[in-house]
């Protein structure tokens, strides 16, 4: 017999943590290898954690709603056989490891660089701390990077020695101030983490009156909020817009859409044409297809277009890979399939990784002008607005009714400047305005 541990997997290339939304097993249950153990929410996707072993569940370390860093233990499984395989660790080893982790965590308690996750509190930790008036600054964490776990809080409560803000030594106040300042540039993880503690108390300041509805914030919503906040805080956003005459495109698409639907079985949307035009322009202006990496800018070779797909309570960004190599039909098919997967909950984390530029179809719900938040760590996002009929003064001085669309672009000013973005948008405009049956193939 051996006790194996199951840890929080990395469900995406930039995912650092996940929230247990629902356990699918309980202590005492027997599971087979690859059976789903729990549903997990991240900022990128909802997914199930499969079991790496066959055996019996002996302990659930995390509870519903707990947020854990990648690599933290979520449960233990008792397996038949000898040595652990594939990263398993016997439970006999676990306490020793926990003890050594605890020693490492308590030694540099005042060093934020050694404890980057010290102030990353899960909802369960915050709830217990508030209910028991525990000052989290005085609690040593045994989790990864010094993170305080639910077990750490329970241990403090069981000991009866509750560290409160009033019981903090006077010297710690003077020591804490420089530590808080230094933690901001020390690591990108610690900066947003320090803001999590006051977020939990924010609802107290909002008066709730009769008839008001309090809606709990889900893990996905929290993750979206954290990512949007990070993008706005780290990337200096600039915004630009261009007006495009899409009359020829509208006439072309409307003339073939019914035949296309009958032949292919899915819709030929305007969005597919815009994604194709953006992919072509990105190939000509590769600077736009870049990412900020601290001391360097990474210009990506592949053109992988992230498309924003909304559900009633969340936003997902699946990726069309190598969009510049695909036909308009191929792009339309992928848009249809990816949107269907999002709305049916079948989208995988792999289908949301690797995006280099985002195109958002804000026009689908009637928007004519918007300012998107950049999909971090990409350098820009393009909003395709509604196509509307407007009177336009033509080159000959005559007024004509034309199908016009605004393309709105948010850009990271660390990576991009107005000149290259202006040229990029002008090229997208040129491609769209020249789209017609004569010079644009759908296949």
Quick check: helix, strand or coil at residue 78? strand
In angstroms, the CA 68 to CA 19 distance is 6
b/e code 294-303 from CB counts within 10 Å (16+ = b) = eeeeeebeeb
Strands 319-320 vs 305-307: parallel, antiparallel or unpaired: antiparallel
Contact between 406 and 385 (Cβ < 8 Å)? yes
417 is catalytic: yes
52: Cα separation from own chain's centroid: 25
Residue 221 sits at the vertex; the CA angle it makes with 323 and 193, to the nearest 5 degrees, is 100
- Convert 363-386 into a string of H (helix), E (strand) and C (coil): HHHCCCCCCCCCCCCECEEEEECC
pLDDT at 186: 36
237 is catalytic: no
Helix axes 270-284, 418-433, angle to 10 degrees: 130
Give pLDDT tens digits along the chain (443 positions): 789 999 998 876 667 788 888 899 999 999 998 899 998 887 666 778 889 999 999 999 988 888 888 889 999 999 986 544 444 444 544 444 444 444 444 444 445 556 666 666 766 677 777 777 888 888 888 876 677 877 788 888 888 788 876 665 544 443 444 433 333 333 333 333 333 333 433 445 788 889 999 888 776 777 788 888 989 999 999 999 999 999 999 999 999 999 999 999 999 999 999 999 999 999 999 999 999 998 999 999 999 999 999 888 778 899 999 999 999 999 999 999 999 998 888 888 789 889 999 999 999 999 999 999 999 999 999 999 999 999 999 989 999 999 999 999 999 999 999 999 999 999 999 999 999 999 999 99
Strands 388-393 vs 399-412: parallel, antiparallel or unpaired: antiparallel
Strands 2-7 vs 55-60: parallel, antiparallel or unpaired: unpaired
pLDDT at 176: 40
pLDDT at 120: 67
Contact between 44 and 15 (Cβ < 8 Å)? yes
Q: How far apart are the first and last CA of the chain?
A: 59
Contact between 281 and 424 (Cβ < 8 Å)? yes
423: Cα separation from own chain's centroid: 30
Q: How many CA atoms lie within 13 A of 353 on its CB side?
A: 10
Of the listed 233, 251, 302, 413, which one is catalytic? 413
Task: Report DSSP state, residue 440.
Answer: -
Which residue's structure tokens are 């072509």?
A: 280
Candidates 326, 198, 331; CA nearest to 266 is 331
Quick check: helix, strand or coil at residue 30? strand
Q: What is the CA radius of gyration of the chain?
A: 26
Instruction: Please report the beta strands in 327-419, taking only residues with DSSP state E, as ranges in sequence order.
Output: 357-360, 380-384, 388-393, 399-412
pLDDT at 115: 67
In angstroms, the CA 120 to CA 116 distance is 8
In angstroms, the CA 192 to CA 180 distance is 12
pTM score, whole prediction: 0.64
Helix extents (H) in 118-169: 123-131, 150-159
pLDDT at 48: 84
For the beta sheet containing 73-79, the strands, ordered from the edge strand earlier in sequence to the opposite edge, are 2-7, 73-79, 55-60, 30-31
CB < 8 Å & 24+ apart, contacts of 247-253: 247/402, 247/403, 248/433, 248/434, 248/435, 248/436, 249/273, 249/403, 249/432, 249/433, 249/435, 249/436, 250/387, 250/403, 251/436, 252/435, 252/436, 252/437, 252/440
Q: Tokens in use for 355?
A: 């995006």
């Amino acid at each position: 017999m051996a006790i194996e541990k199951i840890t929080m997997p990395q469900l995406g290339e930039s995912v650092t943590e996940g929230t247990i939304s629902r356990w699918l097993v309980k202590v005492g249950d027997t599971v087979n290898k690859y059976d789903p153990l729990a549903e997990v929410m991240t900022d990128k996707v909802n997914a199930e954690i499969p079991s790496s072993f066959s055996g019996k569940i002996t302990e659930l370390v995390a509870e519903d709603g707990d947020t854990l860093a990648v690599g933290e233990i979520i449960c233990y499984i008792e397996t038949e056989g000898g040595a652990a395989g594939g990263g398993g660790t016997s439970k006999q080893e676990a306490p020793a490891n926990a003890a050594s982790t605890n020693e490492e965590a308590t030694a540099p308690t005042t060093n934020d660089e050694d404890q980057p996750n010290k102030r990353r509190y899960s909802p369960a930790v915050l709830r217990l701390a508030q209910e028991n008036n525990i000052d989290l600054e005085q609690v040593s964490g045994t989790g990864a990077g010094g993170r305080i776990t639910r077990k750490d809080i329970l241990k403090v409560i069981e000991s009866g020695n509750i560290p409160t803000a009033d019981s903090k030594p006077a010297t710690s106040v003077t020591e804490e101030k420089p530590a808080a300042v230094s933690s901001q540039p020390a690591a990108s993880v610690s900066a947003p983490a320090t803001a999590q503690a006051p977020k939990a108390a924010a609802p107290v300041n909002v008066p709730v009156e009769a008839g008001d509805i309090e809606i709990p914030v889900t893990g996905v919503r929290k993750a979206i909020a954290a990512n949007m906040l990070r993008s706005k805080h780290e990337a200096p956003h600039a915004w630009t817009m261009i007006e495009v005459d899409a009359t020829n495109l509208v006439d072309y698409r409307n003339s073939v859409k019914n035949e296309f639907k009958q032949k292919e079985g899915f819709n030929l949307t305007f969005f597919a044409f815009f994604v194709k035009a953006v992919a072509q322009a990105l190939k000509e202006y590769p600077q736009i297809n870049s990412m900020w990496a601290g001391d360097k800018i990474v210009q990506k070779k592949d053109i992988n277009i992230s498309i924003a797909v909304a559900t009633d309570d969340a936003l997902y960004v699946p990726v069309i890979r190598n969009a510049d190599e695909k036909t308009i039909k191929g792009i339309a098919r992928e848009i249809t399939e990816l949107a269907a997967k999002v709305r049916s909950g079948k989208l995988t984390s792999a289908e949301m990784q690797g995006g280099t530029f985002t195109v958002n179809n804000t026009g689908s719900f009637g928007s004519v002008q918007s300012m998107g938040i950049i999909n971090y760590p990409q350098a820009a996002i393009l909003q395709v607005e509604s196509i509307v009929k407007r009177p336009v003064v033509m080159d000959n001085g005559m007024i004509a009714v034309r199908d016009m669309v605004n393309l709105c672009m948010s850009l990271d000013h660390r990576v991009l400047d107005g000149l290259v973005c202006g040229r990029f948008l002008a090229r997208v405009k040129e491609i769209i305005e020249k789209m017609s049956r004569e010079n644009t193939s759908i296949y």
